[in-house]
Structure 1
Amino acid sequence: MHVHVLQHVAFEGLGCIEAWLESKQAVVTFTRFFESATLPELKHIDFIIVLGGPMSVNDEDQFPWLVDEKQFIAKAIRKNKIVLGICLGSQLIASTLGCKVYPNREKEIGWFPVYSLHKRLDALIFPGSFDAFHWHGETFDLPTDAVLLASSAACRHQVFQIGPRILGIQFHLETTPESVAAMIDHCRHELLPQRFVQTEQQLLSAPLAKYKDINTSMVRVLEYLLIPACTHP
């Protein structure tokens, strides 16, 4: 399996996904836009992982590579590649498919509950409800043909699926204590008092059991996307 990762900033990496890729003996390549915007040919790539980042999908003037990235994601979707978008990555999928991305009514930063809306998939990927780690201020219109799988009190469009191979997730299941600390170091200015914005102390005081739970869900998501299309629920 050849997995290509689209990484937007150095401090938002693969987290627990890295260990899963190693367990699958996957060939892993990267486009790190903060170093080079060179994108590969899709011919031999099976799986695209689009990571998060503090920029907006609408910031094309500031980050011109967003234009090429969206075209790359669109081409991957047309060629029936597996595409997983995390946070900014989910917004990029939505934007690629012609949907508007815009500020959510609430910023959501911290550990907050997510509620599954698709009971048939609960056992495969998400439990009925669970605490996830969030760090986002934008949301998006739901793409045509997308199925909404999960919501939260702060943001309705949290997880969507299109067909068996495209999944967008607004929150972070890949997060580790180290990645949370890195996000705080680089984005501390966003931790302003709001209803769904936790303090730095709250973010850092989460027990290791919370990370274990979300990382387990991340593996479920990845395994789910590898299920042959003909056997998907």
Structure 2
Amino acid sequence: MTKTALIVRHVPREGAAGFLAPIEAAGYSIERIDVANPAFEAVDLCAPDLLIMMGGPMGVYETDIHPWIPLQIKKLAARLEKDRPTLGVCLGSQMIAAALGAPVYQGHTFELGFAPLELTAAGKGSPVKHLRGVRVLHWHSDTFDLPDNVELLASTQHYRHQAFRRGANVLALQCHAEMGEDPRFEDWLTHFWADLDSATQCPNALREDHDIYGPAAVTAGRVMIGEWLAGLNA
């Protein structure tokens, strides 16, 4: 039987991008659902063989503005209780942290741009090792406490909790190793212009870094995801 993968998009401009190739190569049939779609309320997040939750500009704590957030966290917690294979990117990683009982909150600075990760000993023995020495895209100002019973895999100079895993099946990435070749990056620059102001970043400099560092980041990200998928305990 064909394995199924569901990509949850919090905004349409943040999709799986470079991660699509290794997911498809691993034999998954991919479906997508936007949280703005009324059908999202009825979606069973425990059902797909693989769940991928992408990023978004909202905070996990903004439940008054985004009433779907508590429902998503509740559904996600049920999936994690079953140890079903789950990948979270940026907001998706924060969702995983929240579903595992850890607080998510505004950080002390806006981390935006291409920068390397500092891997922990556990990170060097995980699929995240493929990001070692690679400048990957960071675009967030929220962070989280590390949940119980997980391994911290990577940090940066600004935020200690950048990537973690729980066993073989749950991987949370604060960075965007899927971005570097997707034309939607230009949409990020124009739509999220307020983020650039907050981070005092120049869009032209980011475009240049995207051209220089993006392809290597995507290549490393694809190898990372491919290795993670191969090691799942389905």
How high is the TM-score relative to the length of structure 2? 0.89
Contact 1:101 1:141 in 2 (8 A): yes
Corresponding residue pairs, total: 228
For 1:222, what is the secondary structure of its paired residue?
helix
Contact 1:7 1:33 in 2 (8 A): yes
Corresponding residue for 2:218?
A: 215
> Which of these residues, 85, 89, 94, is aligned with residue 92 of structure 2?
89
Corresponding residue for 1:170?
A: 174
Deviation by residue 1:126-180 (Cα, 9 ceiling, x = unmatched): 3433211011001000000111111111111111111111111111011134122
Q: Is 2:180 the partner of 1:180?
A: no
Map 1:119-138 to 2 at 5 A: 120-121=124-125, 125-138=129-142
Corresponding residue for 1:224?
A: 227
For 2:192, what is the secondary structure of its paired residue?
helix
Q: Percent identity?
A: 27
Following superposition, the deviation at residue 34 of structure 1 comes to 2.4
AA partner of residue 196 (structure 2)? L
Corresponding residue for 2:7?
A: 5
**Distance of 2:46 and 2:131 partners within structure 1:** 35
AA partner of residue 44 (structure 2)? E
Aligned in 2, Cα 1:151/1:39: closer, same or farther, shift over 3 Å?
Answer: farther
Corresponding residue for 1:206?
A: 209
Runs of 4+ in 1 over 4 A off after TM superposition: none
Following superposition, the deviation at residue 39 of structure 1 comes to 4.3
Map 1:7-22 to 2 at 5 A: 7-22=9-24
Choose between structure 1 and 2: higher helix proportion: 2
For 1:137, what is the secondary structure of its paired residue?
strand
Aligned in 2, Cα 1:102/1:124: closer, same or farther, shift over 3 Å?
Answer: closer
AA partner of residue 19 (structure 2)? I
Q: Is 2:17 the partner of 1:38?
A: no
AA partner of residue 169 (structure 2)? R
> Which of these residues, 27, 30, 55, is aligned with residue 28 of structure 1?
30
Following superposition, the deviation at residue 40 of structure 1 comes to 2.6
Deviation by residue 1:183-204 (Cα, 9 ceiling, x = unmatched): 112110111264xx53111111
Contact 2:10 2:56 in 1 (8 A): yes
**Distance of 2:196 and 2:232 partners within structure 1:** 41
* Unpaired segments ≥5 residues, structure 1: none
**Distance of 2:186 and 2:43 partners within structure 1:** 31
Aligned in 2, Cα 1:165/1:97: closer, same or farther, shift over 3 Å?
Answer: same
